[in-house]
């Protein structure tokens, strides 16, 4: 991983980067911490911008636990985090949108998946839509930034990568395939500043109707590999997930398409 040699920011002026950070939750103990994917986003931010051009922002409650978790990001060597104070159950998107419009970064980084609340799941998509900026999901690495475009590697399943050219400004979600976040150190975490900012609150009407349950592991279809040699087993394990026996329906009437879907669902036993 020769991350330094990739001819990073080559723009004439300093590249302004923002990273959206959320409060994480340890999967076993449930303790708050810096969120794994968001921390990777901050790490990418470090590779693109010098300390003062990297802005961190968090929108949400600022409880003592949340503060401890946010200090986890400060410990990576960030001077300050802007905390847009939002009470529990409010929609953070408008606050973030307003903040991004004022700060006007060229790249907005965030983790592909948060660990608590709405985290960063849909937030980047909503923000990109409202701001009219490009969106890249599942980023593994930023290869170069030249003026108004950046070249990135997008992570695909099974270690595959897709090189994309993206027009800036852009919102980017960072995948678990990105470089691991650096250690968070006690000294900078203690010195760093949480700049609390009051922001207009928007109650999240949609979220009120949701029922929230702990995530379960998604059931996985059993894949039976009938292979006689190690080579076959390896090929089966490393092969691209190819749809076999599927159908591509293009330009067919809606009725016919719906029937095809229903037929498949019955075959698979989803509908009985």
Instruction: Determine the interface stretch with other proteins among 21-29, 119-127, 153-161, 234-242 (rule: CB under 8 A).
Output: 21-29
Contacts of 150 (CB under 8 A, 6+ apart): 107, 142, 143, 144, 165, 166, 168, 170
Give just the sign of the alpha carbon dihedral 86, 88, 90, 91: positive
The verdict on 26 binding other proteins (CB under 8 A) reads: yes
| Contact residues for 33 (Cβ-Cβ < 8 A; gap 6+) | 24, 25, 26, 69, 72
Instruction: For residues 99 and 95, give the distance between their C-alpha atoms in angstroms, rounded to a whole number.
Output: 6
Using CB under 8 A, which of 183, 211, 244, 250 touches other proteins?
183
- Asked if 33 interacts with other proteins (CB under 8 A), we say yes
CB of 226 to other proteins, least distance (A): 35
Is residue 111 near other proteins by the rule CB under 8 A?
A: no
31 scored as a contact of other proteins (CB under 8 A): yes
Least gap, CB of 5 to other proteins (angstroms): 12
Q: Cβ of residue 33: shortest distance to other proteins, in angstroms?
A: 6
Query: What are the strands of the beta sheet with 149-156, ordered from one edge?
Result: 160-167, 149-156, 134-146, 170-174, 107-111, 17-20, 54-60, 80-85, 193-198
Report DSSP state, residue 4: G
- Closest CB 54 distance from other proteins, rounded Å: 16
Apex 111 CA angle, 110 and 116, nearest 5: 110
Report strand pairing: 149-156 vs 134-146: antiparallel
Q: Please, what is the minimum distance in Å from the beta carbon of residue 181 to other proteins?
A: 9
Measured from the CB of residue 19, what is the shortest distance to other proteins in angstroms? 17
Q: Of residues 42-101, which lie at the interface with other proteins (CB under 8 A)?
A: 75-77
185 binds other proteins (CB under 8 A): yes
Q: Looking at beta carbons only, is 90 or 184 nearer to other proteins?
A: 184
> Rounded distance, CA 82 to CA 112, Å?
20
Shortest separation between residue 233's beta carbon and other proteins, angstroms: 29
User: Tokens 């010195």 label which residue?
Assistant: 191
3 is a contact residue toward other proteins (CB under 8 A):
no
Q: Find the binder of other proteins among 50, 101, 163, 190 (CB under 8 A).
A: 190
Q: Which stretch binds other proteins (CB under 8 A): 92-100, 107-115, 184-192, 247-255?
A: 184-192
Indicate whether 28 belongs to the interface with other proteins (CB under 8 A): yes
Structure tokens at 258: 């719906």
- Closer to other proteins by CB, 185 or 237: give it: 185
Query: Least distance from C-beta 101 to other proteins, angstroms?
Result: 33
Strand segments, DSSP code E, in the chain are: 17-20, 23-25, 32-34, 54-60, 80-85, 107-111, 134-146, 149-156, 160-167, 170-174, 193-198
User: Closest CB to other proteins among 16 and 25?
Assistant: 25
* Footprint of other proteins (CB under 8 A): 26, 28-29, 31, 33, 75-77, 182-188, 190-191
């Amino acid at each position: 991983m020769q991350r330094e040699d990739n001819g990073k920011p080559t723009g004439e002026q300093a590249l302004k980067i923002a990273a959206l950070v959320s409060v994480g939750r340890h999967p076993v103990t449930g303790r708050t911490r810096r969120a794994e994917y968001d921390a990777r986003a901050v790490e990418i931010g470090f590779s693109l911008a010098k300390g003062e051009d990297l802005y961190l922002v968090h929108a949400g409650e600022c409880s003592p636990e949340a503060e401890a978790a946010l200090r986890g990001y400060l410990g990576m060597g960030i001077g300050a985090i802007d905390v847009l104070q939002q009470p529990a159950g409010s929609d953070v998107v408008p606050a973030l949108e307003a903040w991004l419009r004022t700060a006007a970064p060229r790249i907005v980084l965030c983790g592909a998946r948060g660990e608590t609340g709405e985290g960063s799941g849909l937030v980047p998509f909503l923000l990109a839509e409202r701001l009219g900026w490009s969106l890249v999901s599942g980023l593994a690495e930023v290869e170069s930034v030249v003026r108004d475009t950046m070249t990135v590697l997008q992570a695909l399943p099974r270690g595959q990568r897709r090189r994309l050219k993206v027009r800036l400004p852009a919102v980017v979600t960072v995948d678990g395939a990105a470089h691991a976040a650096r250690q968070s150190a006690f000294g900078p975490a203690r010195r760093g500043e949480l700049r609390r900012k009051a922001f207009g609150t928007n109650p999240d009407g949609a979220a009120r109707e949701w029922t929230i349950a702990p995530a379960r592991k998604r059931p996985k279809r059993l894949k039976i590999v009938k292979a006689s040699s190690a080579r076959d087993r390896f090929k089966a394990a490393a092969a691209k997930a190819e749809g076999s026996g599927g159908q591509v329906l293009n330009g067919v009437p809606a009725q016919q398409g719906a029937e095809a879907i229903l037929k498949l669902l019955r075959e698979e036993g989803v509908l009985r």
